[in-house]
């Protein structure tokens, strides 16, 4: 198991205590393409935060590749995020005053990779995603699909163990959404990247091989979706 | 390091106007600090012109008027020092501290050379005076032992007095030539070009009163020490002007008195001894005056330090305004960039990595604008030096410089640099801490 969650609980104490995750047990293998689906308020965002080491959990255990992720200092957490997890965000989260290639370089900068080396690597990744010509452009000069591909390049560059995608198509039109999901699927199939997509759209979830349903802080049904027939709106398109 | 500066440049470039406005406050603070310190230096230099030129281990005593009745005599009695006071001062009573004792007598007389003349004080003095008052001889020599022994009629003139004796002559020659010739400006120029130089006066005779004196030296004029005086041998003046045993002042060098209290104690003993000889109260400070250059120097230094400290405090307070401004701007920057810092943290920036960014930006802004201010301050000091520094006010016939060399040294520039770096770090500290505490979850929040 690459990822293992054992009875993970999380309560927010903002005035009224809110028990968001009520004992999550989940295992994800290396090379899987999984989606976590749930309505807003189901606890999927909190689960994503914990999976991404962006937030702490109260009780239970969380292992990545056999390493217990608990009680980390901020520095350790930053280091683990940097080396083990690649993030893809709904709003792309590229840094606006940096060019595409500089954005892709950033995780390597925090690893202390020398300037020339990281520039070369970033260019390679942009090239793989068909964005070599756009390397010197700023995010506001690119389309949504291009921005998300830059963000994917940034997530891939550190060769992380997991790619965590938070509503990766949330800000894209249906055509681009499909392209992005196909790209993720291709990365998963051809390069064996483990990808976890968090979404509330069934169409997006249908693109993945396994759908984990979460409701009221508890894991419900885990659906095998290798046939990609889960979408209630049909199998051929991502409905918006 | 280059990466950090690239980041800073990117950040500053996006906020040029507000960075410039904030930076101006820092520039202004440092500018004021440098100008204040420069002007303070100039003021102190003006006060102490020549002060450093006087040997600091000398004391001078002179006679005054008694201020209280003593030994059956009324107050207000004039005290004249004489040879016996010189002998007393030089006696074994004070031999523990006093090294060399000399005295001087002075008189007012008219000195003339050709048609030119001036009135001034002629001081009968000893060769040792040169060392004690640090009299700088420009041409020729000072008085020597032989002059004293043989009561030679020789004289050392201060430079400006020598110019007076010559300057008038030159101007008159020019005027005469102008009248005799066809008064062309060219002629006048060439005639004044033939000005007699002061060193040519050496070997010439000048008249002092009714006697003729040979000029043996030209001393550098110095406003602070009494170098407007004309020096002649002690014995000569005494003989010619018949002052008897009376001397005007007694000057001596001393040693072994380090602290102010030791000096005070010594002065008290000396005054008591001299006063008692003249039947004045031993503690009557008006009967004889004592001028201790050592303690005066101590006090001057104390005053100087006090002034410098006060100016630093003023300058730093002005700078404080700028620092608060920088801190404020950095706080706004951090607030604006919260989302960005969240992203950076999500992709692996450590808290220190973020903190470094803000601290470096704060120090860079402070240091850059500080240096601009420092440079402008130094330019202002130089302008001050070239204008006010060159002028002087005329008070009671003596020219007193307002400011002398009102500039700051390299040491102040280095200290100011240190101040800027510390100030920049302080200004950035709170914003940087705030930035480093941004939670990486911020990255997930949609803009």
Cα separation, B49 vs B300, in Å, equals 12
CA closest to A168 among chain B residues: B444
**pLDDT at residue number B224:** 52
ipTM for the predicted complex: 0.91
What stretches of A94-146 adopt beta strand conformation (E)?
none
Helix (H), strand (E) at residue B132: helix B128-133
pLDDT band at B372 (very low <50, low <70, confident <90, very high): very high
Across the interface, do B350 and A74 touch by the CB < 8 Å criterion? yes
Given its phi and psi angles, is residue B4 left (phi above 0), alpha (psi -120 to 50 degrees) or beta?
Answer: alpha
Q: Which alpha helices (H) appear in B181-259, and where do they start and end? A: 185-192, 234-241
Given its phi and psi angles, is residue B129 left (phi above 0), alpha (psi -120 to 50 degrees) or beta?
Answer: alpha
For the stretch B60-114, pLDDT in tens is: 999 999 999 998 888 899 999 998 899 888 888 888 888 889 999 988 889 998 8
Across the interface, do B347 and A106 touch by the CB < 8 Å criterion? yes
**pLDDT at residue number A21:** 93
Task: Point out which residues pair with B134 in neighbouring strands.
Answer: none
**pLDDT at residue number B55:** 62
Name the 3-class secondary structure at B63.
Answer: strand
- Walk me through the domains of chain A, giving residue ranges and CATH numbers: 29-53+72-224 (3.40.50.300)
Q: How far B23 CA sits from the closest chain A CA (Å)? A: 23
Across the interface, do B441 and A49 touch by the CB < 8 Å criterion? yes
Of the partner residues A45, A81, A97, the one whose CB lies closest to the CB of residue B348: A81
Q: Which residues of chain A make contact with B440, given a CB cutoff of 8 A? A: 54, 77-78, 81
Of the partner residues A48, A78, A97, the one whose CB lies closest to the CB of residue B349: A78
- What is the pLDDT of chain B when averaged over all its residues? 84
Burial class (CB in 10 A: 0-12, 13-18, 19+), B287: buried
CA closest to A113 among chain B residues: B3
For the stretch B16-37, pLDDT in tens is: 899 999 999 999 999 999 999 8
pLDDT band at B181 (very low <50, low <70, confident <90, very high): very low
Across the interface, do B351 and A78 touch by the CB < 8 Å criterion? yes
For the stretch B191-221, pLDDT in tens is: 444 567 788 889 999 999 889 999 999 988 7
Of the partner residues B10, B351, B444, the one whose CB lies closest to the CB of residue A74: B351
Cα separation, B123 vs B100, in Å, equals 19
Per-residue pLDDT of chain A (240 residues; tens, 9 = 90+): 899 999 999 999 888 899 999 999 999 999 999 999 988 888 888 999 999 999 999 999 999 999 999 989 999 999 999 999 999 998 899 999 999 999 999 999 999 999 999 999 999 999 999 999 999 999 999 999 999 999 999 999 999 989 999 999 988 898 999 999 999 999 999 988 999 999 988 888 888 999 999 989 999 888 888 887 775 554 555 554
pLDDT at residue B329 is higher than 70: yes
Of the partner residues A75, A81, A90, the one whose CB lies closest to the CB of residue B351: A75
| Residue found by looking up tokens 């749930």 in the block | A38
Name the 3-class secondary structure at A224.
Answer: strand
Question: pTM for this one?
Answer: 0.73
Enumerate the domain spans of chain B: 2-53+298-444, 107-123+131-244
Across the interface, do B2 and A111 touch by the CB < 8 Å criterion? no
Q: Which residues, at least 6 apart from B117, have a Cβ–Cβ distance to it below 8 Å?
A: B110, B111, B165
**pLDDT at residue number B144:** 92
Burial class (CB in 10 A: 0-12, 13-18, 19+), A191: exposed
Alpha carbons within 13 angstroms on the beta-carbon side of residue A118 total 20
Q: How far B358 CA sits from the closest chain A CA (Å)? A: 16
**pLDDT at residue number B175:** 40
């Amino acid at each position: 198991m690459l990822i293992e969650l054992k009875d993970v609980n999380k309560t927010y104490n903002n005035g009224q205590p809110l028990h968001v995750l009520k004992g999550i047990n989940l295992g994800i293998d290396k090379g899987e393409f999984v989606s976590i689906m749930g309505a807003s308020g189901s606890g999927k965002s909190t689960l994503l935060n914990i999976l991404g080491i962006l937030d702490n959990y109260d009780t239970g255990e969380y292992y990545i590749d056999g390493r217990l992720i608990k009680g980390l200092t901020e520095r350790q957490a930053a280091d683990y995020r940097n080396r083990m997890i690649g993030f893809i965000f709904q709003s792309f989260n590229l840094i606006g005053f940096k060019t595409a290639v500089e954005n892709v370089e950033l995780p390597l900068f925090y690893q202390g990779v020398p300037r020339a080396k990281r520039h070369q690597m970033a260019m390679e990744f942009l090239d793989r995603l068909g964005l070599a010509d756009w390397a010197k452009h700023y995010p506001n000069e690119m389309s949504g699909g291009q921005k998300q591909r830059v963000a994917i390049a940034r997530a891939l560059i550190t060769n992380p163990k997991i790619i965590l995608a938070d509503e990766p198509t949330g800000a894209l039109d249906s055509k681009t959404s499909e392209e992005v999901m196909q790209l993720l699927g291709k990365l998963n199939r051809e390069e064996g990247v483990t990808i976890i997509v968090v979404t509330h759209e069934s169409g997006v979830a249908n693109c993945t091989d396994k759908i984990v349903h979460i409701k009221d802080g508890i894991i419900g049904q885990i659906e095998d979706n290798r046939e990609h027939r889960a979408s209630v709106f049909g199998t051929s398109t991502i409905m918006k | 390091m280059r990466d950090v500066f690239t980041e800073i440049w990117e950040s500053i470039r996006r906020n040029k106007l507000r960075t410039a406005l904030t930076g101006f406050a820092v520039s202004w603070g440092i500018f004021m600090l440098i100008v204040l310190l420069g002007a303070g230096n100039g003021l102190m230099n003006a006060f102490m012109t020549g002060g450093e030129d006087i040997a600091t281990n000398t004391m001078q005593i002179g006679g005054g008027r008694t201020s209280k009745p003593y030994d059956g005599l009324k107050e207000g009695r004039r005290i004249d020092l004489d040879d016996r006071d010189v002998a007393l001062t030089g006696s074994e009573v004070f031999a523990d501290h006093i090294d060399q004792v000399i005295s001087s007598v002075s008189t007012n007389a008219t000195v003339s050379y050709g048609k030119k003349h001036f009135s001034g004080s002629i001081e009968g003095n000893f060769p040792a005076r040169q060392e004690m008052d640090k009299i700088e001889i420009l041409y020729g020599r000072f008085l020597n032992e032989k002059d004293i022994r043989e009561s030679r009629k020789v004289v050392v003139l201060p430079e400006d007095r020598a110019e007076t004796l010559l300057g008038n002559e030159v101007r008159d020659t020019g005027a005469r030539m102008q009248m005799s010739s066809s008064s062309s400006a060219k002629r006048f120029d060439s005639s004044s070009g033939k000005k007699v130089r002061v060193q040519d006066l050496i070997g010439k005779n000048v008249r002092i009163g009714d006697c003729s004196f040979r000029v043996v030296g030209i001393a550098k004029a110095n406003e602070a020490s009494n170098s407007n005086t004309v020096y002649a041998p002690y014995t000569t003046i005494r003989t010619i002007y018949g002052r008897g045993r009376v001397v005007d002042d007694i000057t001596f060098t001393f040693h072994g008195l380090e602290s102010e209290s030791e000096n005070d104690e010594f002065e008290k003993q000396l005054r008591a001894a001299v006063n008692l000889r003249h039947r004045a109260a031993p503690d009557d400070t008006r009967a004889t005056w004592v001028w201790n250059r050592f303690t005066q120097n101590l006090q001057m230094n104390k005053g100087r330090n006090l002034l410098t400290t006060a100016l630093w405090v003023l300058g730093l307070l002005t700078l404080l305004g700028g620092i608060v401004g920088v801190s404020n701007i950095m706080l706004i920057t951090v607030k604006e960039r919260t989302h960005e810092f969240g992203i950076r943290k999500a992709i692996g920036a450590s808290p220190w990595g973020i903190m470094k960014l803000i601290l470096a930006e704060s120090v860079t802004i402070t240091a850059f604008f500080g240096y601009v201010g420092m440079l402008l301050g130094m330019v202002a000091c130089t302008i001050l030096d070239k204008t006010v520094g060159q002028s002087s006010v005329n008070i009671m016939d003596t020219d007193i410089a307002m400011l002398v060399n009102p500039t700051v040294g390299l040491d102040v520039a280095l200290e100011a640099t240190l101040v800027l770096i510390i100030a920049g770090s302080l200004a950035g500290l709170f914003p940087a801490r705030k930035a480093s505490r941004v939670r990486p979850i911020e990255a997930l929040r949609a803009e």
